[in-house]
Amino acid sequence: MKRIIRGHHLLCIHGFKGMGYSPKFIEVMSSIVEDISHDDTDFPIQVVQSFDDACQACPHKGKTQCEKSEDSNTHVLSLDGKVLHHLRIKHGETYMKSEIIKKTATLVQPDDLDHLCEGCSWLEYGVCKEGIQNLKEKVLS
Ligand code: SF4
């Protein structure tokens, strides 16, 4: 198994609570989250700053860019870029899941999401910061 995951989705997966843009998108995100949460399974993840596995199921996916709103593509690309930089990983490179999880737990603080996820409508619900906090407790304790 190999997953393609875009930068900002590397954070979203830890706070995902079954909300999303369509039933198909929710189904795909749920399956990614399930794969990520299985401690005994490791697999390669190609990290991208472009469409990923989840985007393929999104009703807002256009031919070449996110079409959720006028500025959504610029916005999600900027979120991807910030997360890749913060995690010190590169677009197009492949990493093992365990490595990505460890980097996320070590390098991301819940309040970093105020900057990393600035402008995301899900941020105010608090579930994403909670997800990062739970990850840190699980991986670093
Ligand atoms: S706030 Fe938005 S971009 Fe950030 S982790 Fe949550 S859903 Fe993803």
**Which H/E stretch holds residue 96?**
strand 94-96
Strand order in the sheet with 94-96: 3-6, 44-48, 94-96
Q: Does 1 score more than 90 pLDDT?
A: no
Q: Whose CA is nearest to atom 8 of ligand 1?
A: 12
Q: Where in the chain are the domains?
A: 3-140
120 lines ligand 1 (CB under 6 A): yes
CA dist., res. 80 & res. 60, Å (int):
17
Provide mean pLDDT across the span 63-87: 97
Task: State yes or no: pLDDT of 44 exceeds 90.
Answer: yes
Q: What is the mean pLDDT of residues 94-118?
A: 98
Average pLDDT, the chain: 96
Residue 21 — very low, low, confident or very high, per pLDDT cuts 50/70/90?
Answer: confident
- Stated pTM of the model: 0.95
Q: Kindly state if the Cβ of 15 falls inside 6 Å of ligand 1.
A: yes
Candidate of 5, 6, 8 to mutate for ligand 1, largest count of ligand atoms within 8 Å of Cβ: 8
Say yes or no to pLDDT of 95 above 90: yes
**pLDDT on residue 49:** 98
Q: Please count the other Cβ atoms lying within 10 Å of the Cβ belonging to residue 70.
A: 8
Mean pLDDT calculated for residue range 39-65: 96
Residue 61 scores a pLDDT above 90: yes
Tell me which residue of 96, 140, 134 sits closest to 17, measured CA to CA: 134
Q: Helical H runs in 1-141?
A: 9-15, 23-37, 72-87, 97-107, 113-116, 127-140
